[in-house]
Structure 1
Amino acid sequence: MSILEEELALEKLMARYVDAANRRDGHAWAQTWAENGCWNLMGMEVKGRDSILALWQQVVAGFDFALLVPGSHLFEINGDTAQGHWYLQEFTRDLQNERHCAISRYLDSYVKVDGQWLFQTRRYDFIYRGPGDLSGDYTPLPE
């Protein structure tokens, strides 16, 4: 595959991830992860697809509504592995009817398994979380 085809396949991986998350389809969402993947969600790290899915289900259960909107991204592809990041906007309403807007970044590593790209590691960091008018606090990204 050309670099362009590989990048398109990585974009499709994120599209599958976001689509499954927005539909709350845990099975489809978990299938975007490598079996031995690692997710660092705001400092809480879990390893293995089953543990990653369990954490996701716990987080999703706290929301009445959540919508992820992916934005810009960059990849560095090296054979069957890659590094990259995605910026996201998120809109949520929790079970107490509190609404938030978030701008965040996923810092990722990817692995190709049986010809399909999967998330190997993901580290999630907030850049902003608060009211939709952006009157909340900005958090600089870690390096």
Structure 2
Amino acid sequence: MTPAAPAANVTDADVAAIERLKHEYCYAIDDGRYGDWAGCFAPDGRFVMNDGTTFEGRDELEAFGRDVFDDAYAESAHTVTNARIDVDGDTATGRWYLALYHETADGETAVQQANYADEFERVDGEWRIAEANVTYGVRLPR
């Protein structure tokens, strides 16, 4: 089986900028820098979990980090792999596998697997996340 060729309009600079943005997203939430994490999103960006729970806009996103994520995990390390990024002008899509290494407040450690299916948009010349969709478990997003 021959792998699919990358889209003709994908540039190395755009792919690198989107990958860097996703890595900053991971570091910011793991470091507890929830304002910086929310800043990875477009002003009206959304974080959508596979149960339909949605956080929209930077204020809600920052509150999610502080009130939900921070309560769930004492420590965390997001690791994203297998990036597949397609760019179309000022919008893009990306898929990633996630291994979330974490420790709870009770001291329990685990690894949680998930998949991201993201949408990106260029805002004032910078790539931002328009929507991050996370599907927990080994199930693949459709």
TM-score by length of 2: 0.86
Q: Provide the rounded CA distance (Å) in 2 between the counterparts of 1:107 and 1:71.
A: 12
In the TM superposition, residue 36 of structure 1 has moved relative to its aligned partner by: 0.5
Q: Provide the rounded CA distance (Å) in 1 between the counterparts of 2:96 and 2:39.
A: 19
Q: Provide the rounded CA distance (Å) in 2 between the counterparts of 1:84 and 1:68.
A: 16
Q: Say which of 13, 30, 46 aligns to 1:5.
A: 13
Matches within 5 A, 1:85-124: 85-124=95-134
Matches within 5 A, 1:71-86: 71-86=81-96
- The residue type equivalent to 2:14 in the other structure is E
- The residue type equivalent to 2:139 in the other structure is P
Runs of 4+ in 1 over 6 A off after TM superposition: none
Aligned to 1:135: none
- Please say if residues 21 and 128 of structure 2, whose CA atoms lie closer than 8 Å, have aligned partners that are also in contact: yes
Aligned to 1:59: 69
Higher RCO (CA 8 Å, separation ≥ 6 residues): 2
Q: Which runs of 5+ in 2 are unaligned?
A: 1-8
In the TM superposition, residue 2 of structure 1 has moved relative to its aligned partner by: 6.6
Q: Provide the rounded CA distance (Å) in 2 between the counterparts of 1:96 and 1:32.
A: 30
Q: Provide the rounded CA distance (Å) in 2 between the counterparts of 1:25 and 1:3.
A: 30
Q: Say which of 26, 31, 36 aligns to 1:18.
A: 26
- The residue type equivalent to 2:64 in the other structure is L
Cα gap change, 1:97 to 1:30, in 2 (>3 Å): same
In percent, how many aligned pairs have the same letter? 23
SS in 1 for 2:43: strand
Aligned to 2:43: 35
Q: Provide the rounded CA distance (Å) in 1 between the counterparts of 2:95 and 2:141.
A: 13
Q: Provide the rounded CA distance (Å) in 2 between the counterparts of 1:12 and 1:3.
A: 14
SS in 2 for 1:61: helix
Q: Which runs of 5+ in 1 are unaligned?
A: 128-138
Aligned to 1:133: none
Q: Provide the rounded CA distance (Å) in 2 between the counterparts of 1:29 and 1:116.
A: 15
